[in-house]
Amino acid sequence: MNYRRYRVSRRTRRMAVGSAVVLVLAGMNGPAIWGYASDQYHEYKINQPGYKEKNGHWTVVDVPEEYRINTIHAALLHTGKILLIAGSGNNAANFKAKSFRTVLWDPVKNSFKNVPTPKDLFCAGHTQLPDGKLLVAGGTQRYEKLGGDVTKAGGLMVVHNEDPDKPMTLPAGTRFTGKKNGKTFESKDPVLVPRAKKTQDEETRKVTVTVSTARVYVEALGKGHEYETGLTDNYSVRGLKGTDARNIYGIANKLSFDKKDFQGIKDSYEFDPVAERYVTVDPMNEARWYPTLTTLQDGRVLSVSGLDEIGQVVPGKNEIYDPKTKKWTYLPKERFFPTYPALFLTDKGRIFYTGSNAGYGPADKGRVPGVWDLTSNDFTEVPGMSDPDVLETSMSVLLPPAQDQRYMVLGGGGVGEDKKSTAKTRIVDLRAAQPRFRDGPDLYAKARYPSSVILPDDTVLTTNGSGDYRGRSDSNVLRAEIYDPGKNRGHAVADPLVGRNYHSGALLLPDGRVMTFGSDSLFGDKANSKPATFEQQIDLYTPPYLHQGGKRPEIKDTAPRTVELGGKTKLRTVQKRPLAKVRLIRPGSFTHVTNIEQRSIALDFTREADGVSVTLPKDSSLVPPGWYMLTVVDDRGVPAEAVWVRVPKAEGEAAAKTDGKGAGEESEEESEEE
Ligand SMILES: [Cu+2]
Question: Ligand 1 mean position to 319 CA, how many Å?
Answer: 22
| Beta-ladder partners of 547 | none
| CA 54 / ligand 1 centre spacing (Å) | 35
The 10 Å Cβ neighbour count of residue 618 is 12
Judge if 564 and 524 occupy the same domain: no
Distance 124 CA to ligand 1 centre (A): 9
Q: How far is the CA of 123 from the centre of ligand 1 (A)?
A: 6
CA dist 516 and 541 (Å) reads 8
62 and 198 part of one domain: no
Tell me the pLDDT tens digit for each residue of 334-348: 999 999 999 999 998
Query: Do the domain assignments include residue 665?
Result: no
Write the pLDDT tens digit of every residue in 162-211: 999 999 999 999 999 999 999 999 998 899 999 999 888 888 888 888 99
Q: What is the largest CA-CA distance in the chain?
A: 103
**How far does residue 262's CA lie from ligand 1's centre (Å)?**
10
Residues 296 and 426 in one domain: yes
How far is CA 629 from its chain centroid? Answer: 19
Query: Would you say residue 673 lies in a domain?
Result: no
pLDDT tens digits for range 229-257: 888 899 999 999 999 999 999 999 888 88
Residue 670 domain-assigned? no
Instruction: Compute the distance from residue 105 Cα to the ligand 1 centre, in Å.
Output: 22
Same structural domain, 442 and 569: no
Beta strands, E only, 411-533: 425-429, 438-440, 451-454, 460-463, 480-484, 489-493, 504-508, 514-518
Radius of gyration over every alpha carbon of the chain, rounded to an integer in angstroms: 27
Cα–Cα dist 493/487, whole Å: 17
Contacts (Cβ under 8 Å, ≥6 apart) of 27: none
Of 74-78, 227-231, 276-280, 400-404, the poorest mean pLDDT is in: 227-231
Give, in order, the Cα–Cα distances in Å from 188 to each of 184, 224, 355, 375.
13, 18, 35, 37
Indicate whether 158 and 139 sit together in one domain: no
Q: What is the ipTM of this complex?
A: 0.98
End-to-end CA distance of the chain: 32
> Distance, CA 561 to ligand 1 centroid (Å)?
37
Q: Identify the band that residue 31 occupies on the pLDDT scale cut at 50, 70 and 90.
A: low
> DSSP letter at 93?
H
What are 351's strand-pairing partners?
345, 372
Indicate the SS3 state at residue 547: helix
Looking at the structure, tell me whether residues 373 and 520 fall in a common domain: yes
3-state secondary structure 205-226: CCEEEECEEEEEEEEECCCCHH
Cα–Cα distance between 594 and 590 in angstroms, integer?
Answer: 6
DSSP, res 433: S
Rounded to the nearest angstrom, the distance between the alpha carbon of 72 and the centre of ligand 1 is 8
> Ligand 1 centroid to 156 CA: how many Å?
23
For residue 503, how far is its CA from the centre of ligand 1 (angstroms)? Answer: 6
Q: Does 518 map to a domain? A: yes
Separation CA 398–CA 666 (nearest Å): 28
CA 302 / ligand 1 centre spacing (Å): 20
Q: Cα of 419 to ligand 1 centre, how many Å?
A: 18
Is 658 inside a domain boundary?
Answer: no
Q: State which residues form the domain around 636.
A: 554-647
Does position 322 have pLDDT exceeding 90, yes or no? yes
Please write down the long-range contacts of 381-385, taking CB distance under 8 Å and 24 or more positions apart: 382/428, 382/430, 382/435, 382/436, 382/437, 383/436, 383/437, 384/426, 384/428, 384/436, 384/437, 384/438, 385/355, 385/409, 385/426, 385/437
Q: For residue range 433-483, what is the model confidence (pLDDT) as tens digits?
A: 999 999 999 999 999 999 999 999 999 999 999 999 999 999 999 999 999
pLDDT of residue 11: 41
Q: How far is the CA of 509 from the centre of ligand 1 (A)?
A: 24
Domain boundary among 547, 572, 597: 547
CA of 98 to the centre of ligand 1 (A): 18
Residue 555 Cα to ligand 1 midpoint, Å, equals 39
Output the CA 74–ligand 1 centroid distance in Å. Answer: 13
CATH number, residue 592: 2.60.40.10
Instruction: Evaluate whether residue 654 is within a structural domain.
Output: no
* Rounded Cα gap, residues 39 and 37, in angstroms: 5
Same domain for 477 and 540: yes
Same domain, 93 and 124: yes
Find out whether 159 and 193 touch, Cβ atoms under 8 Å: yes
Span 368-403, pLDDT tens digits: 999 999 999 999 999 999 999 999 999 999 999 999
Q: How far apart are CA 499 and CA 450, in angstroms?
A: 11
Residue from 128, 223, 211 nearest 167 by CA: 211
- What does the alpha-carbon distance between residue 95 and residue 342 come to, in Å, rounded to a whole number? 28
Q: Report DSSP state, residue 145.
A: B
Cα-to-centroid distance, 469 and ligand 1 (Å): 12
What's the number of CA atoms in the CB half-sphere (13 Å) around residue 355?
34
Is the same domain home to 329 and 449? Answer: yes
What stretch of H or E contains 245?
helix 242-247
Whole-number Å distance, alpha carbon 497 to ligand 1 midpoint, is: 22
Structural domain count of the chain: 4
CB 451 within 8 A of CB 505: yes
- How far apart are the CA of 593 and the centre of ligand 1, in A? 10
507 CA → ligand 1 middle, Å: 18
In order of 126, 310, 633, the CA distances from 98 in angstroms are: 21, 20, 46
- Choice among 143-157, 299-313, 417-431, 547-561 with the minimum mean pLDDT: 143-157
- pLDDT at residue number 498: 98
634, amino acid identity: D
In the reported structure, the alpha carbon of residue 592 is separated from the centroid of ligand 1 by a whole-number distance in angstroms of 6
Dump the DSSP string for 259-327. Answer: -B--EEB--EEEEETTTTEEEEEPPPSS-BBS-EEEE-TTS-EEEE--B-TTSSB--S--EEEETTTTE
Distance 134 CA to ligand 1 centre (A): 20
pLDDT at site 658: 53
DSSP three-state, residue 646: strand
In-domain check, residue 442: yes
What 3 state SS string does 328-356 have? EEECCCCCCCCCCCCEEECCCCEEEECCC
Residue 518 has pLDDT above 70, yes or no: yes
For residue 271, how far is its CA from the centre of ligand 1 (angstroms)?
21
- Verify that 62 and 164 share a domain, yes or no: no
Q: Are residues 450 and 355 in the same domain?
A: yes
For residue 234, tell me if it sits in a domain.
Answer: yes
Q: What is the CATH number of the domain that holds 412?
A: 2.130.10.80
How many angstroms does the Cα of residue 358 sit away from the middle of ligand 1? 8
Q: How confident is the model at residue 580 (pLDDT cuts 50, 70, 90)?
A: very high
Given 252, 276, 303, the domain boundary residue is 252
Are 584 and 559 found together in one domain?
yes
